[in-house]
Structure 1
């Protein structure tokens, strides 16, 4: 349990109404979307940058580990409390500090909901491109910690590409500022890009200056059905070789399609559909028909059953309904979803999915694959029953094989979910020992006592 002197110091720094150590509150913040739970010793709710700096100085003095938390919507254990730690929840830091349409930027605190940033931007004809699937409730601080993305990443990039600058607090409780307010700047090292994706292990982000873009005038969507997975993913490779860059290119395999059938959103799919692509283009209303025609030409080929387009808001919503219902639908297959967001080169996607099918058969597992095919980023979901020891052992064997194959194909362990606690044992397979030690040395510079989100990213 947290020493009384440390608890009293946290209350002195933040106020008693922002520090809770009762069992009910600790239980509420004991997990994220992973199935494991660890009760923190206390939960802190800072309301400002100064309070974050103050609590971190207390933590440094008393050697108390700190687990930062946004909405707790991650599924790799990034917000899972370390034993003996306190959770620092940023949900009370939700102010928009500046909105500057002329300079196309917004300055926000980490507790701002991601979708709200986009809504604000669109009031001025701008938009915030990163669009994680949890955007309606996830917080920008968590997005920065994990370098979150979403379907639009294929054209517009990821969170890191929109972070112009940060204000943060190190493991010593010291304030740092990184980056600038302009899209060009090479003064000093790029610490902004270092902090984004670091999972809260280097500093606690308290403010973010984010780049905005002009909102596209129009959007159009294609729902494309194929007779098999390989021909669908061969079509993805063709799309990514031609001149028109889609703003989204999503894939669903046969099991994913089967999962959404009970929702009614797949009732109008052609008979024999075993793979589905969602392809989106954006731009001016005048140029969209040309873009869609170019995409349709690239998609045309063996295995194509149907390509249905939508140019109006309602039509687009209907076409996306199947994809958006998927995350919830797959949970009906089995109680536990082991979700991996691996990435392979687009040219190797078809080979990788063939390997997944072989592994699923060999280990007698239900494996559902979908995700951002345009980036080679697939969400591989092993659907299992946690009370079945034999099935869980087979799932672990499958997971080991999948990670090895990802790296053999020139891929990477995580595209947007991060490493957290769940993938850190695989990290040495991708990163060599010398590079890992350099990363650990950087960690020690920011956080000499190892207090910031311990037990994440690095293997023991």
Structure 2
């Protein structure tokens, strides 16, 4: 469909010249995200201030036109694909760091600020913002908040929900509002900040965020442990997370992933039944003892080799297997299905074993790796042709059923979007989903914000 002329006139009054795009080429550039799904919007707007977002939502609501918020399009679940057309709001020009307050340990930023750019700006102050998804150099803070995108450091420092103090946003009514605090404690009413984080732009469009900062540790030690099989590695994860020293990263890589990485990256990648990559951070005089405590927990039945890096070069060499994984997978399957399920840490052995069985049952190559300290496993199905693609989708449904049976959940950091929406009733009972719909109606009574996403 195309936008009504009266709406276009209103939009042009608020988004002059190059801040409104209606040409085919520009619209096509904002039709897709990293899920490889695509649908062309009717227009794209590029706001530079909060008032423009209010005016946009009010105008679109009056004409019953969809509004889809977008960061940098790194999402893997189709959450930013404009399935019903409408107007895509790209926040790439709202990219200012408004305030860095080291004394009170917070920063105020606009949603278009890149995660990596924020980290660089915080370095001279001795702080960092903990969420560190693998797309950090390219993804925006707004996108991180919309999907609660996290990364390896979550195991110690938490996700965006634990590292955001407050927000400014625009609801589906067109009303702007603020929620949260500038303080690390607050008990004043409902916690709308945490509610908006992870809501994938279905409740409100975030225009400003007050982020909680963490002092940057001055020391880091890295350890690599290889195991006889995935079960031994998964049990080691449970032991590591049961002792007092919490690692700042605890990554799991299964045997299939290691073989792929070795084929791609060469002999620097070890051959083993499974591997753990562990990092411990802190002050230099405490690091040796902390790493030894983690190493003690890593040792146990099935351990084959344990190496602790002594230099930066050794650290880079130890991480080579993990870095070779993504390009290695792309050489096998351009149609990779990338899921990020989560189970309680103690149930990781059952999850890993169950995925192995499902891979055999459906005859689909599955590579598993991820943030094991949180029980967050990235399950990558790699179909190579149409027949395998069909089997992979059948397999995926059983993967989700297994995860739910193990008291887990469908997503740790990628979100639901389009791709996992049909599986939501597996994870949540009808009364819970109805409460979510009621919340959606309160924020967005006409359902114009990112329709067709998250809720089944």
TM-score category (smaller protein):
over 0.9
Equivalent residue for 1:190?
A: 191
Aligned-partner SS, 1:421: coil
Aligned-partner SS, 1:368: strand
Structure 2 stretches lacking a partner, 5+ long: none
Aligned-partner SS, 1:268: coil
Equivalent residue for 2:268?
A: 268
How far does residue 322 in structure 1 lie from its aligned partner after superposition?
Answer: 2.2
Aligned-partner SS, 1:332: helix
| 2:453 is the alignment partner of 1:452 | no
Equivalent residue for 1:58?
A: 59
Counterparts in 2 of 1:146-225, with a 5 A limit?
Answer: 146-225=147-226
How far does residue 268 in structure 1 lie from its aligned partner after superposition?
Answer: 3.4
Equivalent residue for 1:344?
A: 343
Aligned-partner SS, 1:222: strand
Structure 1 stretches lacking a partner, 5+ long: none
Equivalent residue for 2:12?
A: 11
Which residue, out of 416, 429, 437, partners 2:434? 437
Equivalent residue for 1:94?
A: 95
Equivalent residue for 2:420?
A: 423
Partner deviation per Cα, 1:282-310 (whole Å, 9 max, x = no partner): 11101101111111111111221111112
Preserved contact between residue 217 and residue 282 of structure 2 (Cα < 8 Å): yes
How far does residue 316 in structure 1 lie from its aligned partner after superposition?
Answer: 2.2
Distance 2:189 2:15 in 1: 34
Distance 1:263 1:163 in 2: 39
Preserved contact between residue 220 and residue 312 of structure 1 (Cα < 8 Å): no
Equivalent residue for 2:376?
A: 377
Equivalent residue for 1:123?
A: 124
Distance 1:314 1:117 in 2: 26
Distance 1:74 1:36 in 2: 11
How far does residue 82 in structure 1 lie from its aligned partner after superposition?
Answer: 2.1
Distance 1:316 1:71 in 2: 30
Distance 1:142 1:269 in 2: 33
Preserved contact between residue 65 and residue 82 of structure 1 (Cα < 8 Å): no
Cα distance 1:311–1:59, how it changes in 2: closer, same or farther (>3 A)?
Answer: farther
Equivalent residue for 1:303?
A: 302
Structural RMSD (CA): 1.2
Cα distance 1:91–1:269, how it changes in 2: closer, same or farther (>3 A)?
Answer: closer
Aligned-partner SS, 2:125: coil
The number of aligned residues is: 455
Partner deviation per Cα, 1:139-169 (whole Å, 9 max, x = no partner): 0000000001100111111011111000000
Aligned-partner SS, 1:394: helix
Distance 1:391 1:179 in 2: 47
Aligned-partner SS, 1:384: coil
How far does residue 243 in structure 1 lie from its aligned partner after superposition?
Answer: 1.4
Counterparts in 2 of 1:28-47, with a 5 A limit?
Answer: 28-47=29-48
Distance 2:188 2:11 in 1: 36
Distance 2:49 2:317 in 1: 42
Distance 1:381 1:227 in 2: 22
Moved over 4 A (4+): none
Aligned-partner SS, 1:32: coil
Partner deviation per Cα, 1:318-368 (whole Å, 9 max, x = no partner): 322321332232111112111110001111111111111111111111111
Preserved contact between residue 2 and residue 84 of structure 1 (Cα < 8 Å): no
How far does residue 454 in structure 1 lie from its aligned partner after superposition?
Answer: 0.5
Preserved contact between residue 21 and residue 41 of structure 1 (Cα < 8 Å): yes
| 2:107 is the alignment partner of 1:106 | yes
Q: Structure 1 residues 299-308 or 325-334, which shifts more?
A: 325-334
Counterparts in 2 of 1:307-386, with a 5 A limit?
Answer: 307-385=306-384
Partner deviation per Cα, 1:69-111 (whole Å, 9 max, x = no partner): 1010010111111222211100011000111111111100000
Which residue, out of 385, 388, 391, partners 2:388? 391
Q: TM-score, normalised by structure 1?
A: 0.97
Q: TM-score, normalised by structure 2?
A: 0.98
How far does residue 311 in structure 1 lie from its aligned partner after superposition?
Answer: 4.2
Partner deviation per Cα, 1:199-231 (whole Å, 9 max, x = no partner): 100000000000101111200010111121111
Distance 1:262 1:3 in 2: 55
